[in-house]
Structures are given as structure tokens and as C-alpha cells.
Amino acid sequence: MVKKDAVVSLSYTLKNAEGQELDKSSPDQPFAYLHGNHQIVPGLENALEGMLVGDKKEVTVPPAEGYGEFVEGLQMDIERSNFPQDVEIQPGMQFSAEVGGDNRVFTVTGLEGEKVQVDGNHPLAGQTLHFNVEVVEIRDATQEELQHGHVHGPGGHHH
Ligand code: ZN
């Protein structure tokens, strides 16, 4: 059964509200994660609790339980001089910064003269997520996995 600290392997597809496919697990390698350790969005993690191997489910996750609401204020222009001089700033670059006590990942979205345009929203912020999941395998986590807080081996974290 899916419960805290179990290693769960999933086969899944993720679609947005328009039915467009955003992501899916690889056909020959299920996605493995450590349940109850905030490695997947809360809405999906809660829905998986108690499921058994072979169980399938459609899960709809609102933004608040997914990648968060879209926040316009996280799109901003920053002076080029605030970035290290020896770094070439390019769209797509990511960096983390603290905003209101939260550590957030910002992505550079554009450059205009001495202004760098950045966005601190997750690419899927504001989206209602539609998951189609199947539980493929469940096993106990090893001591080492519990210490590291992530899954080792196939489908998991690689060292
Ligand atoms: Zn590790």
C-alpha cells in the first residue's frame, strides 16, 4: 500500500485543462519517488495515499495543490548590474533567490538593454493538472534512501 516512506513507482501522464499532454513517465522506466517526502505535488501525493499495486486513478489537482497560483508580481525586471559581471545572462538561465522568506527558482525570460526580465513562477503555476496514474510497484525504502530523502536505483536519483 502507498504510505509514508514507501518507494512508489508510477506510470503516469500529465495533461493540462485543455487536454494537452505536458509530461509522462518513460514507457520502459516508471517514475520512482519516496512517498510522503514532498517530492511530488501535494495534490497528487495525497491522492496516491493508500493505493495498491495495479491501481489506476485519474487525479485533478488545482493550482494551490500543484505548482501554485500564478503570481504576476514574480515577473520582474532586474538591473543587469545585480548579476555577476562575469556571467553571460541568457534567456532560459535559472537562479534561485529568496522572496518573502521563500526560496524560489527564477528563470530569465528576456533581456532589454540593461534590464533582465525574470519570472519566479513555476512553468506550470496557475494550471489545473490532470494526472492519469497507475501504481506499478511499491517497496520499502532502504535506510540509506530514508537518510538521503530520495530514491536510489532505477527510476530514482543517480549518484
Ligand atoms: Zn542519495
Where are the domains positioned within the chain? Answer: 6-66+126-148, 72-119
CA of 133 to the centre of ligand 1 (A): 25
Burial of 18 (0-12, 13-18, 19+ CB in 10 A): exposed
Confidence of residue 158 (pLDDT cuts 50, 70, 90): low
**How confident is the model over 141-159, as a mean pLDDT?**
84
Handedness of CA 135, 35, 143, 26 (dihedral sign): positive
Q: How far is the CA of 25 from the centre of ligand 1 (A)?
A: 21
Distance (angstroms) between ligand 1 centre and the Cα of 48 equals 23
Q: Do domains 6-66+126-148 and 72-119 have the same CATH topology?
A: no
Instruction: Tell me the CA–centroid distance for residue 134 and ligand 1, in Å.
Output: 25
The pLDDT tens digits for 40-61 are 999 999 999 999 999 999 999 9
Q: What is the 7 CA–ligand 1 centroid distance (Å)?
A: 13
CATH architecture of 72-119: Beta Barrel (2.40)
Give the tens place of pLDDT for each residue, 64-98.
999 999 999 999 999 999 998 898 999 999 999 88
Q: How far is the CA of 139 from the centre of ligand 1 (A)?
A: 17
10 Å CB burial of residue 129 (0-12, 13-18, 19+) is: buried
Question: For residue 79, what is its C-alpha cell?
Answer: 538591473
Domain 6-66+126-148, CATH 3.10.50.40 — does that match? yes
